[in-house]
Amino acid sequence: MHILMTLANPFTCDTRVYNEAQSLLKAGHNVTVLAWDQQKKNPEGEQKKDIKIVRVFNTTFMDLIPYGIFKLRFWWQEGYKKALELHEREDFDALHCHNLDTLPIGVKLRKKIGLPLIYDAHEIWGYMVEKDLPWWRYYLWKERHLLTNVDHMIVTNPAREEFYNSIAQCDITIIDNYKHIISSKYIKPPNHGKKRLSVLYIGGFIKKRFLLQLIDVVKGLQNVTLNIGGRGKLYHQIERESALSDNTNFLGTVPPEKVIPLTVENDVVFCMIAPHDKNDVTASTNKQYEAMVAGRPIITANGTYSGILTEENQVGVSISFSKDALKRSLIKLRDNPALREVLGKNALNVAVHKYNWEKQEKKLVDIYLKLKG
């Protein structure tokens, strides 16, 4: 089959979409990704490891609109026109929409050309928007309406499946953000057997991730080092705060291919998500699965899906969303290298036997086998 994926980012570092596209290619399908590049920083068309990428840029009018969410309707128009143009040349067999911010394109195409439509919900998008616009539940309504046109749905974990079971009118498959196994053998961390601790965070620089608090807590601890990298709204503030701490190394933006090697080079992974966030509380996190395949313990927050996963599999510590709890957990992990090793080996074990991309890949390929009939 020739599959058209739609994506509302420029597709430069979206590992979930990349893994799915690569798995479908390996199964003998062709994949074209139609991506939205608002900054016009990438080529309009390119080929990356057999994935064809076609990018849609903002019109001059779209650039004048101050808030990204109000550009969506125009992206849907431009994306639909480009997708229809591509279909006339390439004759697609299926549509695969990543997130609600591309689903209207897929629904309009399905109605126009009759292709089967897969909706891949990485987030509960309406809840994500609600954080900035608490009075606006429009996208929760819109998603419910659009779901009537979806042939198959993909979600990331059982918590998300439970949410969508009540509103989706199609089959749902869980495909989580698990990572490829790099080694089935435990690799000793840099401070193996020592009462020293290196902590790693690579991801979004956003307020709800407890990062400024992390830098502040680490600043007051001996023999604890924080390595922090990523991108996002707090980039320059985190860079400044890191410079003020002898315990923190600022890594800047980290290329995707370096994330897991860096994870292996540290003792612990940090991933505290705000338990009061309606979207993130049920989120699967890349950090969790990166830590697992690297054989490293993780620090997570109580009351979140990642916290539950951590406790159930004994792959790290799940703590309250506070600086005091974080400080205690860092001291505990620093002073108990034997505990770190047990948790790290547990993490690798569950990755090898359960939480790996190889198992998710089969489920994704099976969806398309059923579509093909």
Query: Nearest 10 degrees: CA dihedral of 353, 355, 360, 361?
Result: -70
Residue 187 falls within a domain, yes or no? no
Q: Is residue 192 part of a domain?
A: no
Domain assignment present for residue 69? The answer is yes
Question: Per this entry, what is the length of the chain?
Answer: 373
Do residues 102 and 57 share a domain? yes
Q: Are residues 262 and 337 in the same domain?
A: yes
Same domain, 157 and 235: no
Residue 190: inside a domain, yes or no? Answer: no
Residues 97 and 232 in one domain: no
The answer to whether residues 146 and 288 belong to one domain is no
Can you give the pTM of this predicted structure? 0.90
Q: What is the pLDDT of residue 371?
A: 86
Is residue 292 within 8 Å of residue 179, measured between CB atoms? yes
Task: Give the pLDDT of residue 58.
Answer: 94
Laid out side by side, the sheet with 45-48 consists of 45-48, 51-57, 30-37, 2-7, 94-98, 117-120, 152-155, 171-174
Radius of gyration of the chain (CA): 21
The answer to whether residue 301 is domain-embedded is: yes
Same domain, 161 and 237: no
Whether 202 and 120 map to the same domain: the answer is no
- Is there a domain that residue 286 lies in? yes
Q: Which SS3 state, helix, strand or coil, does residue 360 take?
A: helix
> 273 with 346, same domain?
yes
Q: Domain of 311: which CATH number?
A: 3.40.50.2000
Element (H, E) at 86: helix 72-90
Chain centroid to Cα 128, Å, comes to: 13
Q: Which domain holds residue 68?
A: 2-178+356-372
Q: pLDDT in tens for each of the 373 residues of the chain?
A: 999 999 999 999 888 999 999 999 999 999 999 999 999 999 999 999 899 999 999 999 999 998 788 899 999 999 999 999 999 999 999 999 999 999 999 999 999 999 999 999 999 988 888 777 766 688 888 999 999 999 999 999 999 999 999 999 899 999 999 999 999 999 999 999 999 999 999 999 988 899 999 999 999 899 999 999 999 999 999 999 999 999 999 999 999 899 999 999 999 999 999 898 888 899 989 999 999 999 999 999 999 999 999 999 999 999 999 999 999 999 999 999 999 999 999 999 999 999 999 999 999 999 999 987 6
Instruction: Give 252: exposed, middle or buried? Use CB within 10 Å, 0-12, 13-18, 19+.
Output: exposed
Q: What is the pLDDT of residue 24?
A: 97
Q: Which residues touch 240 (CB under 8 Å, ≥6 apart)?
A: none
- In the three-class reduction of DSSP (H, G, I as helix; E, B as strand; rest coil), residue 165 is classed as helix
Q: What pLDDT score was predicted for residue 135? A: 61
Query: Domain check: are 169 and 40 in the same one?
Result: yes
Are 30 and 172 found together in one domain?
Answer: yes
Helix axes 305-313, 286-294, angle to 10 degrees: 20
**Can you give the pLDDT at residue 214?**
97
C-alpha–C-alpha distance, residues 90 and 80, integer Å? 15
Residue 155 lies in a domain: yes
334 dihedral zone (left: phi>0; alpha: psi -120 to 50; beta): alpha
Rounded Cα distance between 335 and 331, Å, is 6
- Tell me the two tokens of residue 82: 């480009």
**Number of domains making up the chain:** 2
183 inside domain: no
The backbone torsions φ and ψ at residue 197, rounded to the nearest 5 degrees and listed phi first, read: -145, 130
Q: In the prediction, which pLDDT does 151 show?
A: 96
Same domain? For 368 and 278 the reply is no
For residues 163 and 287, membership in a common domain is answered with no
